[in-house]
Structure 1
Amino acid sequence: MKKNDMLTLIGFIVAWGLVAYGIVVGGGALKLYVDLPSIAITGGGSIGALLISYPMKDIKILGKVFMEAFKEDTTSKKDIVVLFTTLSRKARKEGLLSLEDDISGIKDPFTKKALSMVVDGVEPEAIKEIMALEIDQLSVRHGQGSAMLKSLGAYAPAMGMTGTLIGLIQMLGNMTDSDALAKGMGAALITTFYGSLIANIMAIPVAQKLDLKTELEVGNMEMIVEGVIAIQSGANPRVIEDKLVAYLSPTEKEAFKAEAGAAGAE
């Protein structure tokens, strides 16, 4: 299950807000930083470069990929430990078929698929192979989205520099016209500014956030596979719990032990 990632939104607001604040406090009017030809060169040129680099099926999902940075998976590793410890106890007492009712209540499709194969009697090696393929394909899909944003982060400054060169050419071609000289200098600088903003406050940070989310999601999926195989093998619930707790960070381990101790005291 996913919820809104407020930290990403706050980061965007802080970054863009402070840029605007610096412009205004520095004595500049915001309208000085709006130039349609420069937007066309930097923004349009960057999009054009993406169209050259990637197939249309990938370009179509770029907006969806971008918005994934604003979503956060609410499933924690502690939740996974609790789930599989509980399921392993039930499976050990009542058998693997008793898990069918529990599976129907699980929302995560990856967990549901893996446990369903266990109940259906699929061999452990086959389960590992199938779920490993699922993990690999997820990494590939997420990697493609992240790569597009990283490409955009590289193209935008380059197109900004292209705009700078155009502005300099215009400026040097009208050395006797002071108005044209000022206009050319403005165009030369503003495109570099746009390219820097697109790269450093949009494309690159979002790509890094997506890479981090993918790493966390893959870690959870590998943990789930470990738990599923342990349940299928009939391992002791305590052994399964200890094995999955090893995936937790030191802070998560302390929190899990505290919660387990509180539950035991009740």
Structure 2
Amino acid sequence: MDILSLIGLLLAIIALVGGAILKGAGLGSLWSSAAFVIVILGTLAAIFVHTPPAVFKRALGIAGWILRPPAADRAALMAQILEWSNIARRQGLLGLEQQVGEQEDPFLKKGLQMLVDGVEPEQIRHMMEIDLESQESQELAAAKVFEGMGVYAPTLGIVGAVFGLIAVMKNLADPSKLGHGIAAAFTATIYGIASANLFFLPIANKLKAVIGRRTGEREMIIEGLIAIAQGENPRNIESRLAGFLH
């Protein structure tokens, strides 16, 4: 569980609700069906047009990473790679065959299988880097879905505000309707700016950070497997991988 993300989301809600109460606007000021339709549904409409279906589906799939990022323990991963290097030195690369079936990570499993099959080190690096670039590209595209929503929402908030002011202008002869119209216009602006800066953009940036960490772990796997394929001493491998721990 990412405690900081959870605290951040809770504080965002508290900031909006508490701000409305402390400023005397009341909780009712935070709800406007017109603002919701224009800003929230409009943002979804824009992102649906903007995003291919597969990318949007992937974005929904990784959204949970802001609270529960994929488990990672680089120290344990390095220890595992060092164990494989010791097995390879004692039994040869075929001694790692049993380890292949025990891996749940498809990326790691594929690399270990190529190692057992005796694929040349540079070929292993080339094939795994292609997979790494592909996965990173797909995940970053998914994170940018939320970034795109953070771009569209404030603009649609302005659109909602303009609609509210138009309604005000149409009712200048009836002062009793002016206050409601102006309040509705400001509510749309709040929806757009607050959703972008408290939710969509922070979510996008957190996902990018998680993706960057995963990429680093995969680079560590590539370096470790290449070192084993080249027959390096486990102590040298440990020194080679130590930089990934920081």
TM-score category, normalised to shorter length: over 0.9
Distance 2:62 2:101 in 1: 29
| Aligned mate of 1:183, from 180, 185, 188 | 180
- Within 5 A, what are the aligned runs for 1:93-108? 93-108=90-105
> In structure 2, how many angstroms separate the alpha carbons of the residues matched to 1:234 and 1:69?
39
1:175 alignment partner, SS class? coil
Asked if the contact 2:157/2:192 (under 8 Å) is kept, the reply is yes
Is 1:236 the counterpart of 2:233 in the alignment?
yes
- Pairwise CA distance, 1:193: 0.2
Deviation of 1:102 (Å): 2.6
C-alpha distance in 1 between matches for 2:215 and 2:58: 21
Instruction: Give the equivalent residue in structure 2 for 1:224.
Output: 221
- Once superposed, what is the RMSD of the aligned Cα atoms? 1.5
Q: Provide the residue aligned with 1:201 in structure 2.
A: 198
Shift of 1:95: 1.1
Q: How far 1:169 sits from its partner (Å)? A: 1.3
Q: Secondary structure at the match of 2:173?
A: coil
Corresponding position: 1:146 with 2:143: yes
Partner residue of 1:135? 132
Q: Partner of 2:49 in structure 1?
A: 52
- Please tell me whether residue 67 in structure 1 is matched to residue 64 in structure 2: yes
Q: How many residues align?
A: 246
1:25 aligns with 2:33: no
Alpha-carbon distance, 1:178 to partner: 1.3
- Identify which of 167, 170, 184 aligns with 1:170: 167
> What whole-Å deviation, never above 9, does each CA across 1:151-191 have from its counterpart, x for those lacking one?
10010000000011111111122112112211210111000
Consecutive unaligned residues of structure 1, counting only runs of 5 or more, are: 250-266
**How much does 1:141 deviate?**
0.7
Give the residue type in structure 1 aligned to 2:128. Answer: M
TM-score with structure 2 setting the length? 0.94
Q: Corresponding residue for 2:212? A: 215
Q: TM-score, normalised by structure 1?
A: 0.87
Structure 2 residue runs of 5 or longer lacking an equivalent are: none
CA distance in 1, matches of 2:108, 2:62: 23
CA drift at 1:64: 2.2
Structure-1 residue corresponding to 2:113: 116
- Residue 84 of structure 1 pairs with residue 85 of structure 2: no
* Mapped contact 2:136–2:211 kept (Cα < 8 A): yes
**Separation in 1, partners of 2:78, 2:51:** 40
| Whole-angstrom CA distance in 1 between matches of 2:67 and 2:85 | 35
The one-letter code matched in structure 2 to 1:129 is H
- Evaluate the alpha carbon distance shift between residue 150 and residue 44 of structure 1 in structure 2; reply closer, same or farther with a 3 A threshold: same
Structure 1 residues 179 and 66: alpha-carbon distance in aligned structure 2, compared to 1, 3 A threshold: farther
SS of 1:28 mapped into structure 2: coil
**Counterpart position of 2:153:** 156
Which one-letter code corresponds to 2:163 in the other structure? I
